[in-house]
Chain A
C-alpha cells in the first residue's frame, strides 16, 4: 500500500519535472529564436577596399559566437529600404535611379549563436581595419541574456527540489518496509545472510518504484503534450507565425531516458542508503 503511495508521489515528481522541462525547453527555443533575430550590422569606411571588406568578413567567420552572417551590398540595402519605405510610392524612389542614397551603406549583417557574447564581438569588430561603425541592440541582448540565466537558475532549483523530494519518498518507503521486516532481516543476519542477499528485495522494490513512477507520468505527459500542441496550433493560428514549439519526439528523446534513469537511480540509491545502517548487525 505504501509502495503504491510512493509510486504515485514519485510519479507526481517526475510529472512535474517533465512539465517544467517541456515548458523550459520551449521557452529556451523561443529565446533562441529571438536571439537569432538580433543582428549586428557592420558598416565600412568610405574608402574601404573590397579586399578590406573581404578580410573583415573572413575575421567575422572565424568567431565562434557567430551563427551566420550575410553581406548586404549597397544596391541590396537600397532595394530593401525601398521595399519598406517607398511601398506604393515607387515613383518617388525612381528619382534616385542613378544615385543610390545608400551607396556607403554596404554592410555585414551578423547573427549570433549566443547574444551574451555580443559586446565582446562588437569590440573586436570595431578594432578591424576598414570598419566605420557597428550597430547593435544592447537592450535586446541584455534582456535576452538575463532571461536565459533566470530560466536556467529556476530550472536547476526546481530539479534539485524535485529530486530531493523523490529521494525522501523512496527512503520513507524503504524505511517502512524495513520496520515491517526488521525481524526477518535480523533472522537472516543471524543465520548467515550476506548484505547483498538482505538488500536485494529492498533494492528491487526501490528500482521498481522508480521505474513505474517514471514510466507512468512520462506516458501521460507525452499524451498531454501532443494534445496541448494540437490545441494551441488549432485555436491560436496567429501564434503559428510568431513562435514554434518543439515537437514531442524531440522533447521526449531527452526526457524519457533522463527521467527513467533518475527514477531508477533514486530508487536504487535511496534503498541502499536507507538499508545501510540496518545491515550492521
Chain B
C-alpha cells in the first residue's frame, strides 16, 4: 500500500530532512509516525502526496511508483489519498456543507452525487446538524471533523493526517482520534504524524519513530484504544 525504499530528501541548503528511510505500510493499517520537530516526519507526508520529490530512492503509494507519475496525473493520484492538516485548512468563507462539497466539485462530480454524499459524510463525522455553520462558528475539534469529512468524501484508500490534534484541546484530540480509528476500522489505511505521545501510547498502534531523518524504531502495536482513552 505504502512503501518507501531508501528514500532521501535533501533540501537545497544541504539539510537532510529524510536520510535513507525504508518502510512498508500494509493496506488497512493504522500507523503513527512520531518524532521531534524537524525530525522529518512532515517531509514524509509531503513525499507521499508528491508535494516533494525525493532526492533519491523510490516512493510507492497504492502500489504505484509515484516518481513515475507525471504532473498531469497528480490530481487523479491525490483523489485516492485523503489528507488532514494541523490547521484544518478550511475555506473560511464557505459553510460546512460547502467545504465538504468542494472536494467533490473539484473532481467534477455530478450534483446528484454531491447532494447524496455530503449529508452522509457529515453524519459520519457527527456534524449533520451544523451543515450551515461557517468554520469560525465551530470549535477546533469540529473544524477538524469537517476537514476529515472533506478528506474522505472521495473515498480514498489512504488517509494521511499531519498533526491532526496539534491545535486541539485534550478532549477534542481524543474525539478526533476515535473518529480516525473508526475510519480505519472501515478499511482505510490511516497514517498519523504526531508528537502527542499520550495519544500514541494510549492507542497501542504501530509506531514509527524518526529522529534526524532516520527511522530509529518501528514498534508494532496491539491495536485498539486502551483504558486511558475510555476514561
Is A192 a contact partner of B89 (Cβ separation < 8 A)? no
CB-based nearest A residue for B85: A190
Is A192 a contact partner of B91 (Cβ separation < 8 A)? no
> How far apart sit A197 and B74, CA to CA, in the bound complex (Å)?
13
Most chain B C-beta atoms within 10 Å of own C-beta, residue among A193, A195, A280: A193
Is B106 a contact partner of A191 (Cβ separation < 8 A)? yes
Interface of A is mostly: helix
Stretch from B13-21, B33-41, B75-83, B216-224 contacting the other chain: B75-83
CB-based nearest B residue for A181: B91
> How far apart sit A280 and B51, CA to CA, in the bound complex (Å)?
9
B51: A residues at CB distance < 8 A: 190, 281
A183: B residues at CB distance < 8 A: 89, 91
Which residues of chain A from 163 to 198 have any CB-CB distance to chain B below 8 Å in the complex?
183-184, 186-195, 197
CB-based nearest A residue for B108: A197
Instruction: Write the nearest CB–CB distance from B127 to chain A, whole angstroms.
Output: 18
Instruction: Write the nearest CB–CB distance from B79 to chain A, whole angstroms.
Output: 4
Most chain A C-beta atoms within 10 Å of own C-beta, residue among B77, B106, B150: B106
A184: B residues at CB distance < 8 A: 91
CB-based nearest B residue for A186: B89
8 Å CB contact of B106 from A186, A197, A280, A281: A197
Interface of B is mostly: helix
> How far apart sit A104 and B51, CA to CA, in the bound complex (Å)?
91
Is B150 a contact partner of A191 (Cβ separation < 8 A)? yes
> How far apart sit A195 and B70, CA to CA, in the bound complex (Å)?
13
Is B154 an interface residue, CB under 8 A from the partner?
Answer: yes
Which residues of chain B from 149 to 163 have any CB-CB distance to chain A below 8 Å in the complex?
150-151, 154
A interface residues, tally (CB under 8 Å): 15
CB-based nearest A residue for B83: A190
Is B78 a contact partner of A191 (Cβ separation < 8 A)? yes
A280: B residues at CB distance < 8 A: 71
B121: A residues at CB distance < 8 A: none
B75: A residues at CB distance < 8 A: 189, 192-195
A190: B residues at CB distance < 8 A: 49, 51, 78, 83, 89
Is B197 an interface residue, CB under 8 A from the partner?
Answer: no
Is B108 a contact partner of A192 (Cβ separation < 8 A)? no
Binary CB contact string for chain B from 178 to 215 against chain A (1 if under 8 A, 0 otherwise): 00000000000000000000000000000000000000
CB-based nearest B residue for A279: B71
Which residues of chain A from 208 to 266 have any CB-CB distance to chain B below 8 Å in the complex?
none
CB-based nearest A residue for B79: A192
Most chain A C-beta atoms within 10 Å of own C-beta, residue among B74, B78, B102, B108: B74
The verdict on A192 contacting B107 (CB below 8 Å), with A187-B89, A187-B91, A281-B51 known, is yes
Instruction: Write the nearest CB–CB distance from A195 to chain B, whole angstroms.
Output: 8
Is B78 a contact partner of A192 (Cβ separation < 8 A)? yes
A281: B residues at CB distance < 8 A: 51
8 Å CB contact of B154 from A187, A188, A191, A194: A191
Instruction: Write the nearest CB–CB distance from A281 to chain B, whole angstroms.
Output: 7
The verdict on A192 contacting B71 (CB below 8 Å), with A184-B91, A281-B51 known, is no
B78: A residues at CB distance < 8 A: 189-192
Is B59 an interface residue, CB under 8 A from the partner?
Answer: no
Which residues of chain B from 85 to 135 have any CB-CB distance to chain A below 8 Å in the complex?
89, 91, 102-103, 106-108
Interface, chain A (partner B; CB < 8 A): 183-184, 186-195, 197, 280-281
- What are 10 contact pairs spanning A and B, CB under 8 A? A183-B91, A187-B102, A188-B106, A190-B78, A191-B107, A191-B151, A192-B76, A192-B107, A193-B106, A197-B106
Interface, chain B (partner A; CB < 8 A): 49, 51, 71-72, 74-79, 83, 89, 91, 102-103, 106-108, 150-151, 154
Identify 6 new A-B residue pairs, CB closer than 8 A, beyond the known A191-B78, A194-B75. A183-B89, A187-B91, A188-B106, A191-B79, A191-B106, A192-B78
